[in-house]
Structure 1
Amino acid sequence: MLKLKDIQTPIATELKQFEERFKESMRSSVPLLNRITQYILKQKGKQMRPMFVFLSAGLCGNINDSTYRGASLVELLHTASLVHDDVVDNANERRGFFSINALWKNKVAVLIGDFLLAKGLLLSVRDKELQLLEIVSEAVEQMSEGELLQIEKARKLDIKEDIYFEIIRKKTASLIASCCACGASSADAENEQVALLKEFGEKVGIAFQIKDDLFDFGMDDVGKPVGNDIKEKKMTLPLIYALRNTNSSEKRRIINLVKNHSENKEKVAEVIDFVRSSGGLDYATEKMLQYQQEAFDILKSFPENIYRESLEQLVRFTTERKK
């Protein structure tokens, strides 16, 4: 299985330097803010977003100071959105750590999110990175719209496939698309190349989210069905397909289980079995690989080099990862 660490070779130095610059971009004169931002930095994820920024810049020209600012901008606004999401969802954990709102309460968490947003805006404005700011601001706008669209549609638990794709395009894919567009823009790429890489990132983001959907129908460490999305009453692609291809009485029964019995482990397992036996996982996998191939096809329009090769590996990782 392809591992993320195997893809970092051409930009290992850049990622190390980015970590230092990103820490600096979060610095404050307020001790409480510095304590919380240091805590956030300990929760560092896979660094996929900065990787997309740097590899896209390398693909289109050269990695420079603007690329570092683009990666920092994306990470600042993304981190702010995660802190705010945990408040909205009343979540107590994030990547195995206590969430900011769990440790410092909602008021502080909201203010921290606002602080990170402001840091991102200032980083862009002070260095006249207005195109990067526009790219990332559009992504934040779409992420908010996607969340609200999901909330609106989830009430009836009858989301159609086109609405599902619109939701994940806005919620998840828009951010990865902005990473690739920022990287290209930072390298002074032509508008056509920026647009192409933005589309590439969108395809990857959709495939990434479908993979997440598929995880929910797997097993946890003790062999029990996961079903977190079902417990949260989220309509994902495998379930949408299974419901579309069953009779009306069975559809009503399954929707009733999701709507009214999502806290019951046996009922959740029943929904998972229904999706599996209805071909929902196979269909979602097919769609995921379709978007992956479309991403590969876009990359073929760029010169073959180590950055393109690394982006291809990164795309494979999004669909082959184990978690």
Structure 2
Amino acid sequence: MDELSILKNSVKEFNMIFDKKYKTSIQSESKWLREAFEILQRATGKQVRPLMVALTCKACGGQLGEKSAESALLLELIHTATLIHDDVIDKAGLRRGVRTLNTIFDNRIAVLMGDFVLSIGLMRAIQLNDIQIISVVSSIGKELSEGEILQMETAEETVLSEQRYFQIIKQKTATLFSAATLLGAICADADNEIKETCRAIGENLGYAFQIRDDIFDYFSVDVGKPTGNDIREGKVTLPLLYAIFNDHSKEQEQCLNIIKTKDFTPSNIDRLIVFAKDKDGVEYARLRMSEYLDKALELCQKLPNISDVPELERLAKFICNREI
């Protein structure tokens, strides 16, 4: 049994409630939607964020049950909707080795399916009738969409900036993680200080998670997308940014020209990957990822139910050590 399975097993009853709610929430009269949901369940990953809600709730001294499972469901529905939309925007053909909805159906249908899932999440948030949870969930969409637009703008205008890079991943990734840990604290009826600590834990883990994901782009591993895919889309992530700004050789000038002219042929993408590795860009990214992880682990020690903190810490470490 792998680390994630062990952690999920530690909140088995929560997962049973969550799974039942998920299956019930996505029922539809539409044959296409039923087919889409079957596909999504194979392709949307490891459901790390719902687990984060549960483990944070426990670490704050809360009891897992209907409220925590419903909160986790809201987050997962919003996350799923954004993945569907992202695949359309990125013209992605595969997600974790499974064909995306936009290739099985078409862009029009996929966008409507994403809207359908998002609408379910918003409706259930209102039915939960908890203003704190509604406030957290309703703010996610704005942050995610603005982050996506900023990423596209950055790629189109070739803005090479580490500050801009972190701004994008804060909105696109850290937003969901901080929402997960904040929802866990809310479900535990934690005080404001603990809620802010939990929000910060999630934000730091979100940074670490995305940097780890970006590092995958520089290696031939099965993560559901080809090596160099980010570069191909004009996304210059942390390893390559570091190499570009910390080298002043002829190779740097040539690599910079490739990026600015968007001449992303297979050979040029390989060249940029090698350049980033040779100039310690990947090692720098790993260092920054570790810094965010360490900060999250440090904050975990401030949570009240210290006996359940180790499980949350193990999930945090899994995020940075995962191979896919």
Q: Which amino acid aligns with 1:9?
A: N
Task: Summarize the Cα distance change of 1:31–1:267 in structure 2 as closer, same or farther, 3 Å threshold.
Answer: closer
Does the aligned pair in 1 maintain the 2:75–2:137 contact within 8 Å?
Answer: yes
Residue deviations 1:257-283 (CA, integer Å, cap 9, x gap): 23443222x322221221122121121
Instruction: Please report how far the alpha carbon of residue 23 of structure 1 lies from its aligned counterpart in structure 2 after TM superposition.
Output: 0.7
Q: Which residue number corresponds to residue 206 of structure 1?
A: 207
Summarize the alignment of residues 1-323 of structure 1 with structure 2, pairs less than 5 Å apart: 3-60=3-60, 61-220=62-221, 226-247=227-248, 250-258=251-259, 259-264=261-266, 266-303=267-304, 305-323=306-324
Secondary structure, aligned partner of 1:168? helix
Secondary structure, aligned partner of 1:295? helix
RMSD between aligned alpha carbons? 2.0
Does the aligned pair in 1 maintain the 2:39–2:98 contact within 8 Å?
Answer: no
TM-score normalised per structure 1: 0.92
Task: Summarize the Cα distance change of 1:269–1:295 in structure 2 as closer, same or farther, 3 Å threshold.
Answer: same
Distance of 2:147 and 2:28 partners within structure 1: 31
Q: Which amino acid aligns with 1:20?
A: K
Instruction: Please report how far the alpha carbon of residue 304 of structure 1 lies from its aligned counterpart in structure 2 after TM superposition.
Output: 5.1
Does the aligned pair in 2 maintain the 1:64–1:187 contact within 8 Å?
Answer: no
- Percent of pairs with identical residues: 36
Residue deviations 1:210-254 (CA, integer Å, cap 9, x gap): 111211222347xxx922222222111111111111227544311
TM-score normalised per structure 2: 0.92
Distance of 1:238 and 1:70 partners within structure 2: 35
Task: Summarize the Cα distance change of 1:204–1:113 in structure 2 as closer, same or farther, 3 Å threshold.
Answer: same
Secondary structure, aligned partner of 2:105? helix
Distance of 1:37 and 1:226 partners within structure 2: 28
Secondary structure, aligned partner of 1:120? helix
Structure 2 residue runs without a partner (length 5+): none
Distance of 1:24 and 1:13 partners within structure 2: 17
Structure 1 residue runs without a partner (length 5+): none
Distance of 2:39 and 2:2 partners within structure 1: 30
Distance of 1:295 and 1:19 partners within structure 2: 28
- Point out the more displaced range, 33-42 or 283-292: 33-42
Instruction: Please report how far the alpha carbon of residue 156 of structure 1 lies from its aligned counterpart in structure 2 after TM superposition.
Output: 3.4
Residue deviations 1:303-322 (CA, integer Å, cap 9, x gap): 35453111100111111111
Number of matched residues?
A: 319
Secondary structure, aligned partner of 1:8? helix
Instruction: Please report how far the alpha carbon of residue 140 of structure 1 lies from its aligned counterpart in structure 2 after TM superposition.
Output: 2.1
- Point out the more displaced range, 118-127 or 39-48: 39-48
Task: Summarize the Cα distance change of 1:21–1:2 in structure 2 as closer, same or farther, 3 Å threshold.
Answer: closer
Distance of 2:279 and 2:39 partners within structure 1: 44
- Point out the more displaced range, 146-155 or 198-207: 146-155
Distance of 1:37 and 1:307 partners within structure 2: 33
Distance of 1:28 and 1:219 partners within structure 2: 39
Distance of 1:213 and 1:88 partners within structure 2: 18
Task: Summarize the Cα distance change of 1:104–1:2 in structure 2 as closer, same or farther, 3 Å threshold.
Answer: closer
Distance of 2:2 and 2:284 partners within structure 1: 23
